């Protein structure tokens, strides 16, 4: 069983981003809107700031205090209109009653580096230029960097969220995989997931997928990041999967660092007008 | 084997639309942009006009002569901005070098009754209000009217086009089916399609799917409309499927008439601001 090194993949991507940014006339700027005070969010935003600084991307963190929906919308629209800002992301959690796919529609698709605008998702689905959510792109980057063949293989995605499951399925489809999407209503889930050559698990429940769900030799990508009782992070995949899978992304150190690298890559692309 | 009567389903839908339109303060208006002279398109537009008239929807056909991309964009934007127009569709084929998902972005999503704007597809994917392409919705209407259970069943879509395969897959997923999308690169297609309780075929190749692709008792929805040598229309599904399937939509008289009915239903909804 190969343990996939997400940090190494992230390092490869960020090296490419650093090289691209070094030739830019102005440093790309990523604006991070933080609409709530939340410890995990603050920790993640600091990690984005550190990673951005390393590759030469400026990070502008905008902290809001108990904003209304209109406050969030106005700030996202302002940042989208600001020519000195190249990428705009909106952190979750949002205040009660505010939904990301509602306010996300106010991020200019050309600056929507975490694919929060439904228009971005539609453009990705239609095969047009546009940014898919960074986590979904990170799944594909992991598979590409590992040299996992996708064309004609069976890929199964467990989870149908707008931020991971659905865009990951669309990207796998664009990569010519035969794609199945499973969810809470799927009958006999282990039988369906055992069809997978590539199994992507994005459910958000610790240890949801075990060895009985995995075809021997399959590549398993664990997108889950669930807080454990001891404060550590655990994935959606149980340790016994390591005895069956051909390759597996760990948590932490798998999809997570690649997601941050993709966010920076998208920001550099947005700054170049891609 | 049950032969599904698309015309009867269309009649049920148009009866509902007629009742809804009868209570409207102004008759809903559907604008149909026709960017090329094409005999099949002209025939189809006349059939939309007839069907619209029957339910009390006004149809405004705008025929263009050898338009540029900008001409098409301008007319779609004008029709979108016109308060007396409630639904806007753009017929294909388009002039050489003009793509529907490019010009479709200029149809206001609130009037995009055939889901040609990538933003509409994204909104449907995100579970927000928005119109999916009428053909994809027609597939779901057929299944709903036939009382086919979808939650927890295996649905397989053959074909991954932006106008049918992908939106149909997203709608089946929203209906809680476990959805697999197959395409030209799928390995061992008959083995994958035989997993389907519901098989949707939208490939655009006459007789592409035969009895060997179908699980006994499956419901098969044939979206294909391929011109035969004698001028008639034939589907993507071969006649021998009737010996295996539990139910099958014919061509013609299956998904086709339901698609027109859905277009009118969407126009009535758009006029009511849904």
**Complex prediction ipTM:** 0.96
Percent share of chain B, pLDDT over 70: 100
> Is a pLDDT exceeding 80 seen at residue B184?
yes
Look over chain A and give the mean of its residue pLDDT values, rounded to a whole number. Answer: 97
Query: Which residues are CB-neighbours of A262 under 8 A, at least 6 positions away?
Result: A13, A134, A137, A138, A141
**Sequence-separated (6 or more) residues with CB below 8 Å from residue B29:** B57, B58, B59, B60, B84, B85, B86, B87, B267, B271
CATH of B134-256, one of 3.90.1300.10, 3.50.50.60, 3.90.1660.10, 3.40.50.720: 3.40.50.720
Q: How confident is the model at residue A164 (pLDDT cuts 50, 70, 90)?
A: very high
- Please tell me the predicted confidence (pLDDT) of residue B100: 94
Complete DSSP assignment for B28-46? -EEEEEE-S--HHHHHHHH
**Residue from B152, B180, B192 whose CB has the most chain A CBs within 10 Å, to mutate:** B180
pLDDT above 90 (res B47): yes
With the C-alpha atoms ordered A155, B152, B123, A91, is the resulting torsion angle positive or negative? negative
In angstroms, the CA A6 to CA A16 distance is: 16
Contact residues on chain A for B162, CB-CB shorter than 8 A: 125-127
3-state secondary structure B197-232: CEEEECCCCCCCECHHHCCCCCEEEECCCEECCCCC
Instruction: Please say if the pLDDT value at position A274 is more than 80.
Output: no
- Give how far A196 is from chain B: nearest CA, Å: 12
Rounded distance between C-alpha atoms, residue A148 and residue A126, angstroms: 24
Which residue of chain A is at minimal alpha-carbon distance from B193? A178
Q: What is the pLDDT of residue B7?
A: 98
Helices and strands of chain B, counted as H and E runs: 9, 11
Q: Does A128 touch chain B (CB under 8 A)?
A: yes
With a cut of 80, say whether residue A55 has pLDDT above it.
yes
A25 CB contacts (<8 Å, ≥6 apart)?
A: none
Taking CB atoms and an 8 Å limit, are A118 and B101 in contact across chains?
Answer: no
Q: Per the annotation, does B120 bind a ligand?
A: no
**B160 touching chain A per CB within 8 A:** yes
Q: Do domains A27-108 and A134-255 have the same CATH topology?
A: yes
A228-271 per-position pLDDT tens digit? 999 899 999 999 999 999 999 999 999 999 999 999 999 999 99
State yes or no: cis peptide before B252, omega within 30 of 0.
yes
Q: Please determine, for residue A30, whether its predicted confidence score (pLDDT) is greater than 90.
A: yes
In angstroms, the CA A72 to CA B260 distance is 40
* CA–CA dist A213, A248 (Å, integer): 13
Tell me: is residue A161 an annotated ligand-binding position. yes
Contact B201, B238 (CB under 8 A): no
Q: What is the pLDDT of residue B231?
A: 86
Question: Tokens 């030799």 label which residue?
Answer: A217
- Parallel, antiparallel or unpaired: strands B226-227 and B233-234: antiparallel
Say if the Cβ atoms of B178 and A170 lie within 8 Å: no
| Average of per-residue pLDDT across A141-145 | 98
- DSSP type of residue B109: G
Give A50's pLDDT tier (boundaries 50, 70, 90): very high
> What integer pLDDT is reported at residue B96 of this predicted model?
94
Torsion of CA B124, B125, B127, B130, to 10 degrees: -10
CB B45 within 8 A of CB B34: yes
Q: Of A119, A150, A165, A213, which to mutate for an interface test with B (greatest number of B Cβ within 10 Å)?
A: A119
What kind of fold does domain A134-255 have according to CATH?
Answer: Rossmann fold (3.40.50)
Q: Supply the mean pLDDT for chain B.
A: 97
Q: Domain segments of chain B: what residues?
A: 24-108, 134-256
Contact of A273 with chain B, judged by CB distance below 8 Å, is answered with no
Contact A181/B at CB under 8 A: yes
Give every CB contact of residue B66 below 8 A, 6+ residues apart in sequence: B95
Write the DSSP symbol of residue A237: B
Please judge whether A162 and B126 are an interchain contact, meaning their C-beta atoms are less than 8 angstroms apart. yes
Instruction: For B173, list phi and psi in degrees, rounded to 5.
Output: -65, -40
Q: Say whether A118 and B128 touch across the interface (CB within 8 A).
A: yes
- In order of A74, A125, A133, A149, B137, the CA distances from B121 in angstroms are 25, 8, 16, 28, 12
pLDDT of residue B274 exceeding 90, the answer is no
Q: How far, in whole angstroms, is CA B119 from its chain's centroid? A: 17
Structure tokens, B266: 């969407």
Q: Which residues are CB-contacts of A198 (< 8 A; sequence separation ≥ 6)?
A: A143, A148, A150, A153, A154, A155, A156, A172, A177, A218, A219, A221
Q: Is B204 annotated as a binding residue?
A: no
Please state whether A87 falls in left (phi above 0), alpha (psi between -120 and 50) or beta: beta
Residue range A16-23: average pLDDT?
96
B24-108 placed in CATH 3.30.365.10 = no
Cβ count near B194 (within 10 Å): 17
- In B, minimum Cα distance to A109 occurs at B119
- Mention the CATH class of domain A27-108: alpha beta
At A85, is the secondary structure helix, strand, or coil?
Answer: coil
Distances in Å between the Cα of A259 and the Cα atoms of A11, A80, A125, A269 are 12, 22, 20, 15
Count of C-beta atoms within a 10 Å radius of residue A96? 6
| CA gyration radius, chain B | 18
**By the CB < 8 Å criterion, does B186 face chain A?**
yes
Picking from A126, A158, A181 by the largest number of B CB atoms within 10 A of its own CB, the best residue to mutate is A126
Give the model's pLDDT for residue B40: 87
CB contact under 8 A, B121 and A122: yes
Cross-chain residue pair B162–A126, CB shorter than 8 Å = yes
Give me Rg for the CA atoms of chain A.
18
What pLDDT was estimated at residue A40? 87
Mean pLDDT of A60-73: 97
Spatial contact of A140 and A175, defined as CB atoms under 8 Å apart: yes
Cβ neighbour number for residue A95 with a 10 Å cutoff: 14
Q: Does B153 touch chain A (CB under 8 A)?
A: yes
């Amino acid at each position: 069983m190969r343990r996939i090194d997400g940090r190494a993949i992230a390092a490869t991507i960020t090296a490419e981003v650093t090289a691209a940014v070094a030739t830019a006339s102005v440093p790309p700027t990523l604006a991070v809107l933080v609409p709530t005070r939340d410890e995990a969010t603050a920790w993640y935003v600091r990690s984005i700031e550190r990673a951005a600084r390393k590759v030469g991307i400026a990070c502008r963190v905008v902290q809001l205090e108990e904003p209304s929906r209109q406050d969030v919308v106005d700030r996202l629209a302002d940042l989208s209109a600001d020519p000195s800002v190249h990428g705009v992301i909106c952190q979750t959690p949002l205040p009660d009653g505010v939904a990301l796919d509602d306010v996300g529609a106010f991020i200019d698709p050309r600056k929507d580096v975490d694919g929060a605008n439904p228009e971005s998702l539609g453009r990705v689905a239609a095969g047009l230029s546009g940014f898919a959510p960074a986590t979904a792109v990170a799944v594909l980057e992991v598979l590409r960097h590992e040299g996992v063949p996708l064309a004609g293989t069976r890929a199964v995605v467990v989870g149908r969220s707008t931020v991971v499951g659905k865009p990951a399925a669309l990207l796998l489809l664009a990569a010519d995989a035969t794609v199945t999407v499973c969810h809470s209503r799927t009958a006999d889930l282990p039988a369906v997931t055992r069809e997978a050559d590539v199994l992507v698990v994005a459910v958000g429940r610790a240890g949801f997928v075990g060895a009985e769900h995995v075809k021997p030799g399959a590549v398993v990508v664990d997108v889950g990041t669930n807080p454990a009782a001891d404060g550590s992070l655990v994935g959606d995949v149980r340790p016994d999967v390591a005895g069956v899978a051909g390759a597996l992304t760990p948590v932490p150190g798998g999809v997570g660092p690649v997601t941050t690298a993709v966010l920076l890559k998208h920001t550099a692309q947005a700054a170049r007008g891609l």
